[in-house]
Amino acid sequence: MAGVVMAGHVVVIGAGVYGAAVSAALRRRGARATVVDSGAPGDGTSGVTFSWLNSCGKEPRAYHDLNVAGMVAHRELAEKLSGDWYHEGGNLEWAAKETDRVRLRDKVRRVLGYGYEARWLVRAEALRLEPDLDPTALPDDEIAFFPREGWLEPVRMIGFLLAGAEVVRNDAVVGIDVGGERVRGVRLASGRRLAADAVVNCAGPRAAEVAALAGLTLPMRNTQGRLVYTSPVAVAVSRVIHAPRVHVRPDGAGRLLLHGHDEAAADSVFAAACELYPGIRAGAVESVRVGERPVPGDGRPVLGRVAALPGFHFAVSHSAATLCVHAGDLVAAEVMGADVADALAPFRFERFR
């Protein structure tokens, strides 16, 4: 297989969820992996994400299946490492407008056809799951429940996956060395050079810039997302909630994480959450953070080797929180010589050429 190393030194660019997962998988396979980041681990997109673990409505089928495998991989990793960063409580979703209800019905029908767990609840059933919800905020019926979905504390997971790893912080990659028609290493802003048998681009929103250093053009259409963090409130929120005007999930230590329309002001997002859970009124907006979401040009992940540049690999996607453990393991396996062509075929860089 062109572009594969069987062992040696691999530079992983980016210390977010993908970089951490790829690095851990490489080290597990016996490689030396150096993770390089322009900042600190987890302080980019991975630290500003709703981190909803799901494969709900993701198309086409290959993308859906990849996300389902990602959910399973998270569950298995958390069990193996007793990871308290993983929370599987399910997701409740309902719609207000008829057009949105039609879309929700279509989504439930489609995922049930794929064998994905989903069922419809009436108001009383939803309140048994989330007793602090205001009953008047719920419809009588057609509340979709996806029981195997959940959420992730990504920075905590990154810390566990990078434990004992070789990490270069606050030193951006400014050049990719290529010789003999393959990758030979990277150059850093500090002037340092790292020789490498392979490089994995896990740079998230900066993935196109890193690709350009290697002479590659990666189409990206990044978006921004605004998240609202509450102060601690004594409100029982146990799972991911997708209501018509606001999305809510726990965020540890009694805090809640809120997401509304990205252009919505924090106060209006907080007010919508208070209408949903009246107990939130005892709290306040503690912080608002804006993150840049990496979105490849066609919306699907870009994973695996680049045929025209042996030694260069991608691990970039919008659904990084869900995909990182499983997709990162596939990418690392390919770097180390395993044949994962069937699994990665729909997500190759070459589809853009």
Last residue of a domain, one of 255, 273, 293: 293
Residue 67: inside a domain: no
Contact 205, 222 (CB under 8 A): yes
Q: What is the CATH number of the domain that holds 130?
A: 3.30.9.10
Side by side, the strands of the sheet bearing 32-36 are: 166-168, 32-36, 9-13, 198-201, 312-316, 302-305
Can you say how many angstroms the Cα of residue 290 is from the centroid of all Cα atoms in its chain? 16
Contact 12, 41 (CB under 8 A): no
Q: Are both 279 and 321 inside the same structural domain? A: no
> For every one of its 353 residues, what pLDDT tens digit does the chain have, with 9 covering 90 and above?
444 445 489 999 999 999 999 999 999 999 999 999 999 999 999 999 999 999 998 999 999 999 999 999 999 999 999 989 999 999 999 999 999 999 999 999 999 999 999 999 999 999 999 999 999 999 999 999 999 999 999 999 999 999 999 999 999 999 999 999 999 999 999 999 999 999 999 999 999 999 999 999 999 999 999 999 999 999 999 999 999 999 999 998 999 999 998 788 999 999 999 999 999 999 999 999 999 999 999 999 999 999 999 999 999 999 999 999 999 999 999 999 999 999 999 999 999 98
- Number of domain units in the chain: 2
- Res 6: pLDDT: 55
Q: Are both 118 and 236 inside the same structural domain? A: yes
Specify burial of residue 101 (Cβ count, 10 A radius: 0-12, 13-18, 19+): middle
Structure-token pair, residue 303: 């994973």
Range of the domain at 313: 9-48+155-221+296-352
Q: Are both 142 and 233 inside the same structural domain? A: yes
Distance of alpha carbon 145 from alpha carbon 232, whole angstroms: 26
| H-helix or E-strand spanning residue 17 | helix 17-28
Q: What is the CATH number of the domain that holds 159?
A: 3.50.50.60
- pTM for this entry: 0.96
Q: Are both 241 and 208 inside the same structural domain? A: no
Q: Are both 340 and 214 inside the same structural domain? A: yes
CA distances from 61 to 105, 113, 249, 315, 349 (A): 18, 11, 27, 20, 19
Contact 172, 189 (CB under 8 A): yes
Q: Are both 310 and 343 inside the same structural domain? A: yes
- Res 192: pLDDT: 98
Last residue of a domain, one of 293, 318, 341: 293
Residue 207: inside a domain: yes
Contact 188, 176 (CB under 8 A): no
